[in-house]
Every structure is written in C-alpha cells, then in structure tokens.
Amino acid sequence: MTRRAHQSKRPTDTVTARETAQRLLGEDADLPTGEELDMLRLQLRWHAMLLIPVLETAVQDRPEDAPERVTAADVIAEARARLASEPRNTLPAEVAHAQSLSRSVLTLADALDSLRLVSAGP
C-alpha cells in the first residue's frame, strides 16, 4: 500500500497536537514528573509520527526546490532526529527531551497549517 492509502480523509488535528506541546513550553507550564512525563512524551511522539507523513504527502507534488518543500524537509529531518534520540535517565534530561519533542510537534503543525493556508488560497 502507498503512503496515501494509509492517510485518513479527515484533516490532521493540529489543534490537539499544539495543546499537548504547549503543556511543556508555556510560561506557566508545570513541569511533569514520573508517569505524567512518560505519558506526555508518548503523546508528543505520537503526534510527531502522525504529522510527519501528512506533511510529506502535502508537499510531495511541489517542485523539489519550492521553499515550502525545502522547509518541510528540514522540519521533518529535525523531528525524526528528535524522535530517534533518547534522553539520559535523569529528570532534567527527560524534561529537556520532551521539550524538544514539543518544539518539533509545534514546528510540524506550523508547516502543515501554513501549507493548508497556501493551498486554500485567498
């Protein structure tokens, strides 16, 4: 099956992805501990893993040198690198890793929403 065959016809929920990511990045963010941090990291990984193929599909028909395709490739590469990394087994390292995943989720959502705006036109 192709990547498109796996895609849902529903729009990707970037609102929920953003809300999850903001839990660690907002000025008033309460830093989670223990199981809550583990659950949040799993949610962030899930959001990133859902957004990556949607963004890839959204830009695949654009010219290779199109700015939005180049930007998407950079954003996806960074998100994949963060998904592949594992933090040291200390609370500060785990929080920092979750925060980096949060930033990737926000950047993926921004790129996808930007493409949707451009595609929708004026």
DSSP letter string, 29-64: PPPP-HHHHHHHHHHHHHHHHHHHHHHHHHHTTS-T
DSSP letter string, 14-31: HHHHHHHHHHHHSTTPPP
Burial class (CB in 10 A: 0-12, 13-18, 19+), 52: buried
b/e for 88-115, b at 16 or more Cβ within 10 A?
Answer: eeeeeebbebbbbbbbbbbbbbebbeeb
**Can you give the pLDDT of all 122 residues of the chain as single tens digits?**
344 434 444 457 889 999 999 988 877 778 888 899 999 999 999 999 999 999 999 999 999 999 999 999 999 999 999 999 998 988 889 999 999 999 999 999 999 998 876 665 55
Can you give the pTM of this predicted structure?
0.84
Q: How many residues does this entry show for the chain? A: 122
Task: Please report the pLDDT score of residue 34 as a whole number.
Answer: 84
Domain map of the chain by residue range? 42-122
